[in-house]
Amino acid sequence: MKPPKGLTPEQEKEWKQHHVSLSTLFRIYGGFMGFIESGYFWFALISAIALMSFNQLVFGFESYELIVSIKELLLSTFPSILGFNIGAYALVIGFGDKSVLDKIRAAKGTNNFSLFQTIGGTFAMSVLIQATTFGIAFILHIFIRSFGSVNLFDLSQHGINMANNFTAFILLFFSIYSVALIPKIVLNVFSFSQLFHYFSKNS
């Protein structure tokens, strides 16, 4: 969405920093580097590769069985996890009196955004990743229930195995990533409470 016409360069910059969109959220998070520099991302990636290899070399499970198992686990647990995290996010955003929040908003965060935007953006991105994980599991559930026994794309057995391996890896990666982000969300809530305590004490 383009900024309204007639804005000064300073107003346009301010508008872009407060515009509600995925691109703004992505910039607050730090873009692709926000993921690349995240230990949670690398933990999930390395764990997914290791578990996929271990699963096939040691246990010899089929990737399809792994997909079904993870999918069922996500569908049964993630609604509660998402509910908790969204509630925590709402608590952070709506918490505190205006004078203290103004000080947090005035403090400098990362990527030329305020500290309040940085905390909120990091929180929102974590919840969005978890929601994406749940969405993938839900879509897979519908697909398997509808077309699980049908070879829609007329793939060879090798092609089916490759598709299952890729799907299992993606699902496993997002699952581990989403679970790993739970401590990060808890730390975000704690960080915000510490900031609120500091600024309220020194107001």
What is residue 71's predicted lDDT score, i.e. its pLDDT? 93
Does residue 12 fall inside a structural domain?
Answer: no
Collect all residues with Cβ–Cβ distance below 8 Å to 37 and sequence separation of at least 6. Answer: 30
CA distance 154 to 8: 57
What is residue 169's predicted lDDT score, i.e. its pLDDT? 94
Number of domains the chain contains:
1
Does residue 90 fall inside a structural domain?
Answer: yes
What is residue 23's predicted lDDT score, i.e. its pLDDT? 82
Does 77 score more than 70 pLDDT? yes
Of the spans 9-18, 139-148, 186-195, which averages the highest pLDDT?
139-148
DSSP state of 22: H
Does residue 81 fall inside a structural domain?
Answer: yes
**pTM, rounded to two decimals:** 0.80
Does 174 score more than 90 pLDDT? yes
DSSP state of 2: P
What is residue 150's predicted lDDT score, i.e. its pLDDT? 60
Residue 87 is part of which domain span?
A: 38-201
CA distance 69 to 59: 15
Does residue 126 fall inside a structural domain?
Answer: yes
Does residue 15 fall inside a structural domain?
Answer: no
pLDDT digits (tens, 9 = 90+) for 100-142: 666 766 667 666 777 778 888 888 899 999 999 999 999 999 9
* Encoded tokens for 91: 């608590």
Check: CB of residue 114 under 8 Å from CB of residue 27.
Answer: no
39: number of Cβ within 10 Å: 9
Collect all residues with Cβ–Cβ distance below 8 Å to 90 and sequence separation of at least 6. Answer: none
